[in-house]
Amino acid sequence: MQGSRFAFGPFVLDPGAGTLLRNDVPVAVGYRGLSLLAALVRRSGDILGKAELMDAAWPGTAVEEGNLTVQIAQLRKLLGPAADGGEWISTVPRVGYRFTGAVEQLAGAKRKPLPLPGKPSIAVLPFVNVSNDPEQDSFADGLTEDLITDLSRISGLFVIARNSAFAYKGKATDVRAIAEDLGVRYLLEGSARRAAGRVRINAQLVDAMSGDHLWAERFDRGLEDIFAVQDEVTAKIVEALLGRLRAPPPRNRPQNLEAYDLCVRARKLIDDSPQMAQEAHLMLTRAVSLDPGYAEPYRWLAMNHWMGRVHWGGPTEAARSVALELARKAVAIDPNDAGCRWVLAYLLAYERSFAEADAEFAKAIELDPNEADTWAALSDIKVLAGRVEEGLGHISKAFRLNPFPASWYYLALGQAQYAARDYEAAIETLRRDETYRTSSRRFLAASLAQLGRLDEARAEVELFLVGNPHFTTHHWATTEPFRDAAVLEHFVDGFRKAGLPE
């Protein structure tokens, strides 16, 4: 799933890595500028409308047109004149912009094949909604997610995380290519149809190496039996892969299917814009009111409060207190859910209840060793505790379970690489397109500063402060869950060198 690189004049643009080189020397270009340049270069010679460009650089966000004008002006300044003395980017009055240079598309770096684990490995591909109602997509997605969770809890299996499985939603299925991408041998694929109080599910287990179908079955049941069907599918897969029939451990199931649907839909919105996070908050609150004994909405409400996504001004102490209370509630309802456990563990670490946090992380891993998010969150906490090599091992494990993860994995990896003083690797990680740039810029700036690349570091600081105008190093250092003075001083040193406010 690696993209191509593009060469024009003395430049090489690699959108996947988030880099622009001039004669093999990195050019300090911001994330928005790089996104705009990638959109223009990919369609060199075509006129791109302003709305299309703004969507490329500010997806899902309403911004004023002046922001686009400023970014284009900065790009022109960075690129300088073309060989003929003209501009690389021309303005088409009242319409948009066009990239005028000759572009050569270079082959992207081929992704290294992932070695197969030493245990049966499987990915659950998104089940296809075969009803005539697109609103039923959330039902098919929820079925997929639940099967991933059920299989993930079987210690004898290696199970790819949801984020990576859903990278293939709506795409043509080439089972061998997908299995190679994810580093697994087996794939579960299927379809779901929900109508008139009934549900019809087709599922098949495929050996991607041979192309053989190991198991296939069709279920036609009442909608109230959906979770029993999930348990049955999980048990049959375990029997096929491990040679024994085993029911998954009991899970907290919703009593209200509307609450279940709301929770599935809300999970997709939490990592989006503040507006979407607020919508997710309303959905999850409604789910709790419909089914107060269902753990999942409490867990996601906790994360939404913790990240400050439902508060325009960012997280507050009160919001974090609410988040901790919600996480405790989720664990009290379903103590066997690893997702609820790691969320509670992470929040406890920020409360500096380290012994309790460590115990919750250990319990989460015991319950579900395949929960990639647990390993990624634990990496963050271990690095700040001074156990940097351990942290690097944990984030590596998280990436193996989730090869196409959420952006915060890259932030955790870049932070760990900085702590290990591998600044070049940290820069490469934190400049990737997948990284959540607003937060990552402070670590990117620190890494650049430690290598003496102060102009680039200052540019990253400037961009970081646009989105974080009240940031101070002192406040950050006193709120992050550091347990090691030397690691703390190393981060503070990098921030100071980069020019972040004291």
Residue extents of the structural domains in the chain: 5-106, 121-242, 257-498
Does residue 443 or residue 167 have the better pLDDT?
443
The phi, psi pair for 255, rounded to 5°, reads -95, -15
Specify the 3-state DSSP secondary structure of 324. helix
Mean pLDDT of 201-209: 93
**Stretch 299-309: mean pLDDT:** 83
Confidence check: pLDDT of 311 > 50: no
Tell me: pLDDT of 140 over 50. yes
What is the spatial distance between Cα 366 and Cα 359, in angstroms, rounded to a whole number? Answer: 11
Q: How far apart are CA 160 and CA 114, in angstroms?
A: 12
Helix axes 65-79 and 50-57, enclosed angle (nearest 10): 80
The three-state secondary structure class of 311 is coil
Q: Using DSSP, state whether 158 is helix, strand or coil.
A: strand
- pTM score: 0.78
- 124 forms bridges with which residues in the sheet? 188
CA distance 31 to 290: 42
Q: Are 62 and 79 in contact (CB under 8 A)?
A: no
Alpha helices (runs of H) in 309-406, residue ranges in sequence order: 317-333, 338-350, 354-367, 372-384, 388-401
Alpha helix locations (H) across 80-136?
none
Please determine whether the domains at 5-106 and 121-242 fall in the same fold group of CATH: no
Mean pLDDT of 116-133: 91
**Domain 121-242: CATH superfamily, name plus number:** ABC-type transport auxiliary lipoprotein component (3.40.50.10610)
Count CA atoms within 13 Å of residue 4 on its CB side.
10
Residue 400: HSE in the Cβ half-sphere, 13 Å Cα cutoff: 16
Show the DSSP H helices in 48-110 as ranges: 50-57, 65-79
Please write down the HEC assignment for all residues of 112-147: CCCCCCCCCEEEECCCEECCCCHHHHHHHHHHHHHH
* pLDDT recorded at residue 313: 44
pLDDT at 2 over 50: no
Any idea which of 11-25, 115-129, 217-231, 311-325 has the lowest mean pLDDT? Answer: 311-325
**pLDDT at site 268:** 80
Question: Into which CATH architecture does domain 257-498 fall?
Answer: Alpha Horseshoe (1.25)
Q: What is the mean pLDDT of residues 182-205?
A: 92
Using only C-alpha atoms, the chain has a radius of gyration, in whole angstroms, of: 24
pLDDT at position 316:
63
- 5-106 has CATH 1.10.10.10 classification: yes
Asked if pLDDT for residue 434 goes beyond 70, the answer is no
In the prediction, which pLDDT does 329 show? Answer: 97
**Looking at residues 419-435, what average pLDDT do you find?**
87
HSE at residue 312, side-chain half, CA atoms within 13 A, is: 1
Q: What is the pLDDT of residue 272?
A: 55
Residue 361 · residue 391 · CB < 8 Å = no
Mean pLDDT value across residues 24-46: 83
What's the average model confidence in pLDDT over 263-287?
Answer: 82
Confidence band for 1, pLDDT divided at 50, 70 and 90 = very low
pLDDT digits (tens, 9 = 90+) for 393-410: 999 999 999 998 888 899
Selected residue with higher pLDDT from 387 and 466: 387
Rounded CA gap, 379 and 394, in Å?
5
pLDDT range class, residue 306, cuts 50, 70, 90? confident
